[in-house]
């Protein structure tokens, strides 16, 4: 069981590095920016 978890963690780490190395599609970038803006607006509204 432990080896499976270790392999999964290693794979996830490699995948994260690979995704960090390539630029996101524009739609994903815009979606992420929108999510950040919405969080900031919600935070500002609550304070």
**Alpha carbon separation from 43 to 25, 27, 32, 35 (Å, rounded):** 27, 24, 17, 12
**Alpha carbon separation from 11 to 16, 36, 47 (Å, rounded):** 9, 28, 41
**Could you tell me the pTM of the whole model?**
0.39
pLDDT confidence tier of residue 37, bands split at 50, 70 and 90: very high
Instruction: Tell me what the pLDDT averaged over the chain comes to.
Output: 83
Contact status, residue 32 vs residue 24, Cβ threshold 8 Å: yes
| Pure H helices in 1-47 | 2-21, 26-46
Mean pLDDT (whole number) for 31-41: 91
């Amino acid at each position: 069981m432990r080896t499976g978890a270790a392999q999964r963690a290693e794979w996830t780490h490699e995948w994260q590095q690979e995704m960090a190395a390539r630029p996101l599609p524009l739609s994903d970038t815009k979606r992420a920016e929108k999510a950040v803006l919405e969080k900031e607006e919600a935070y500002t509204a609550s304070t």
